[in-house]
Amino acid sequence: MKRVITYGTFDLFHIGHLNLLERLRKLGDHLTVAVSTDEFNMRKEKICSMPFADRARIVSALRCVDAVIPEETWEQKVDDIRTHGIAIFGMGHDWSGRFDFLEEHCQVVYLPRTEGISTTSLKEQIGEK
As annotated, the active-site residues are 44, 46
Residues that bind ligand C2G (CB under 6 A): 7-10, 16-17, 20, 36, 46, 71, 91-92, 94-95, 113-114, 117-118
Q: Which residue is nearest to ligand C2G (CB)?
A: 92
Q: Which is nearer to ligand C2G, 30 or 102 (CB)?
A: 102
Q: Which is nearer to ligand C2G, 5 or 87 (CB)?
A: 5
- Nearest distance in Å: CB 13, ligand C2G: 9
Q: Which is nearer to ligand C2G, 30 or 110 (CB)?
A: 110
For 7, 18, 39, 91, 124, the CA distances from 117, given in Å and listed in that order, are 18, 12, 25, 16, 11
| Nearest CA among 22, 33, 99, 97 for reference residue 66 | 33
- Nearest distance in Å: CB 93, ligand C2G: 7
Is 46 in a helix, a strand, or coil? coil
Sheet holding 30-36, edge to edge: 67-71, 30-36, 3-8, 86-92, 107-111
For 16, 61, 81, the CA distances from 121, given in Å and listed in that order, are 12, 24, 32
- Nearest distance in Å: CB 2, ligand C2G: 19
